[in-house]
Amino acid sequence: MNTMLRKSVLGIAGLAFAGGLAAGPLNHHDATPTTAMSPVAVQADKPDMGKLIPHGVQGAQSHIDLDDEQVANAEAIIAATKKAGLPERAAVISIATSLQESKLENLGHLGDRNDHDSLGLFQQRPSSGWGTPEQITDPEYATLAFEKGLKQVDGWQDMPLTEAAQTVQVSAYPDAYAQWERQAAHLVAEHWNS
């Protein structure tokens, strides 16, 4: 197999390693892989959107462009969700909550613009028992604290996102979380297995 064809096959299959048989044997007549390894098979590794958004989205959806730091924070939420042994849906709820609370920015004290003593990705408050300022500005700690609250909500897996998030967060704007469900689900689909 020539080098250009091997690179094409490996690129198409999304493989990160080299090897003549990694993409499967080739049918020399048409130079296409004869195994199930294909772009469609690679896409199957992404979580199913039906699992991520089981109730469909509620209301109009918002979307913001994310910078590298915000994407890294979404990845940190996903990693913490996995560490907690929770499913992809918990990551969607967590990311949507953070999108609403901080736009996935790990916010410190904002002075006069601060909502009381709210900090971090989830705008958790030390005075409400979420942890120290250092803890709740640590993305892993903040996510695990949020998800600990989520696990205490009976039936959270079957609730609409905004209801589950609001039960944990007790926000003055209880319906606001719903607008981020689609973007949160796409982030989880993109980064859950990366």
Task: State the DSSP H helix or E strand holding residue 162, giving kind and residue range, or none if neither.
Answer: helix 161-169
The phi, psi pair for 120, rounded to 5°, reads 80, -170
Q: What are the residues whose beta carbons fall under 8 Å from the beta carbon of 106, sequence distance 6 or more?
A: 69, 73, 120, 121, 137, 139
Average pLDDT over every residue of 81-91? 97
**What confidence tens digit (pLDDT) does each residue in 123-147 have?**
998 888 999 999 999 999 999 999 9
Nearest-CA neighbor of 140 among 106, 164, 112? Answer: 106
Q: Which pLDDT belongs to residue 41? A: 43
**What confidence tens digit (pLDDT) does each residue in 10-25 have?**
333 333 333 333 333 3
**What confidence tens digit (pLDDT) does each residue in 23-64 have?**
333 333 444 444 444 444 444 578 888 889 888 888 899 999
More confident: 92 or 21:
92
More confident: 12 or 84:
84
Ordered structural domains, the chain, with CATH: 3-43 (no CATH), 49-191 (1.10.530)
**With contact defined as beta carbons under 8 Å apart, do 183 and 99 qualify?**
yes
DSSP string for residues in 65-107: ---HHHHHHHHHHHHHHHHTT--HHHHHHHHHHHHHHHTT--B
Reply yes or no on whether the pLDDT at 99 is more than 90: yes
Question: For residue 141, what are the β-bridge partners?
Answer: none
Q: What are the residues whose beta carbons fall under 8 Å from the beta carbon of 14, sequence distance 6 or more?
A: 39, 42
Reply yes or no on whether the pLDDT at 83 is more than 90: yes
